[in-house]
Amino acid sequence: MNDSLYLAWRYLSHHRAKTLLLVLSLSVFLGLPLVMRAMSAVIQQSLMARAQSTPLLLGKKGSSLDLVVEALYFQPKGIEALTASDADEIDGTGLAQAIPVRTGLLARQFPVVGTSLDYFSFRGLRIAEGRALGTLGECVVGAEVATTLGLEPGDSLLTSPSTLFDLAGVYPLKLRVVGTLEPSYAPDDRTVFVDVKTAWVAEGLGHGHQDLATASGDVVLKRKDGAVTANAKLVQYNEITTENADGFHFHGAPSSYPVSAVIVVPNDIKAGVLLRGRFVGDDARQLLRPAQVVQGLNAQIFRFERVLRIIVWTVGLATALMFVLVMVLSWRLRADELRTMTRLGCSRWKAVQIMGAEVFLMVGTSVALAAFLGLAITHYGETWLQNLVLRGS
């Protein structure tokens, strides 16, 4: 048997191009269903896991899927914002813990999410290097952000301006990286976390500037009845430091500032039911169970997968027929070669064994390649697949 395998191997390595073509065709045929199944399972599993670990989500009335996708997976969907008072209202009930989530900002293509410290313990996120958020202007980056951008504690990161050509718009805020997170294999890995107040500053709702009481005359337009009007020369800070943090301030009540959604963690099942009851008749807000919404998304994926599977099997059948045809034609073309082998003393059975070994080697290599592809997608493509699905949803 070994000699048959050896001869088959020698033949295949001599005809590299043909072998490679056949192996790749077979790999794609065998790999597609595997990859598809892996993709489907991974997406459904990871989406479901995150949704199930989030008991309730409060947001403005509108598309529940968009709300879940933006608040849980940080994919921008342009959802309408609540206010911080909505989070306070949940806290005030004593039935649940409210964790605000403010999305919509970017820093070098990664989402910047404003939240509270409770988010980290809620998701079980642990600091790999550095420390947790301490003050305004600081950020903690997910594992993938740290690796991709080469960030470590002590580095800084600029938020992206909301509109490039809006010269009067909000300036980017320089964030200080104070910690990196351990990988969690979830959207948190691709996220820059800041305090929700820092997010408000980055959005232009809060700011810091030189002290007007002591500002020089060329900055002040007028002083009248204790009121100072400054001109555009007034220096506004684009970085929050220990020295100027004290001077950063918000105009208006912070309770009126926007939060994209509120993760609601009820004290127990009964508290959750009571809370959901309170929002049943609410015209402006919805309190939903993310798991239920993701079930709907999964059902869509499942339906799509069924259609795709029929297509894959049809293409696969064509590939298999093509493979058989190529092999039969190849054996015909090799009739002289087989005759020479027989004349040299090779039995017909041995010739069949050699041909069989060729098929075995090619199919075996294709199966191995397909399995490798499936496994790689399952293990390393989770976040990538999630993004692929959610961006398109």
Partner 1 sequence: MGCLLLLVALGCSKQEPQAPPPETKRAASVYAVNYPLAYFAERLAPEGIEVVFPAPPNVDPAFWKPTPDTIGQYQRAGLILLNGAGYARWTRYATLPKSRIVVTAEGCRDELLQTGEAIAHQHGPGGEHSHQGTAFTTWLDMRLALCQASHIRDALVELTPANADAIHAKLDALQADLTQLDIRVRGAADAWGDQPMLASHPVYQYLADAYGLRIESVHFEPDQALGPKDIEELESLVARHPAKLMLFEAEPLPETKRLLRDQGIATVVFDPAAQPPNDGDFLSVMTGNTSRLACATGAEACP
Q: Least separation, in Å, of the C-beta of 321 and partner 1? A: 24
If binding is defined by CB under 8 A, does position 289 make contact with partner 1? yes
Q: Long-range contacts of range 166-173, CB-CB < 8 Å, 24 or more positions apart?
A: 169/204, 170/202, 170/203, 170/204, 171/236, 171/238, 172/202, 172/238, 173/137, 173/198, 173/201, 173/202, 173/238, 173/239, 173/240
Q: Of residues 5, 128, 149, 265, which one binds partner 1 by CB under 8 A?
A: 265
Q: Under the criterion CB under 8 A, does residue 155 sit at the interface with partner 1?
A: no
Q: Which range touches partner 1 (CB under 8 A), out of 6-14, 267-275, 311-319, 342-350? A: 267-275
From the list 118, 156, 120, the residue with the least C-alpha distance to 137 is 156
Which is nearer to partner 1, 140 or 357 (by Cβ)? 140
267 binds partner 1 (CB under 8 A): yes
Separation of alpha carbons 78 and 251, rounded Å: 24
Per DSSP (E only), the strands in 324-370 are none
Q: Does 248 bind partner 1 (CB under 8 A)?
A: yes
Provide the strand spans (E) within 168-327: 174-181, 192-195, 206-207, 220-224, 227-230, 249-250, 258-259, 261-266, 285-288
* Cβ–Cβ under 8 Å, residues 371 and 15: no
Q: CB nearer to partner 1: give 236 or 340.
A: 236
Distances (CA, A) of 217 to 128, 207, 208, 214, 341: 49, 21, 19, 9, 103
Q: Which stretch binds partner 1 (CB under 8 A): 8-16, 72-80, 206-214, 341-349?
A: 206-214
| Shortest distance (Å) from residue 318 CB to partner 1 | 22
Structure tokens at 165: 């050509």
Q: Is 203 in the site for partner 1 (CB under 8 A)?
A: no
For the bound state, the minimum distance from the C-beta of residue 169 to partner 1, rounded and expressed in Å, comes to: 11
From candidates 13, 15, 21, 52, binder to partner 1 by CB under 8 A: 52
Q: Which residues bind partner 1 (CB under 8 A)?
A: 37, 40-41, 44-45, 48, 51-56, 91, 97, 116-118, 121-122, 131-136, 138, 178, 195, 197, 209, 212-213, 225-231, 234, 240, 242, 245-246, 248-249, 251, 265-269, 272, 289-291, 294-295, 298-299, 302, 305
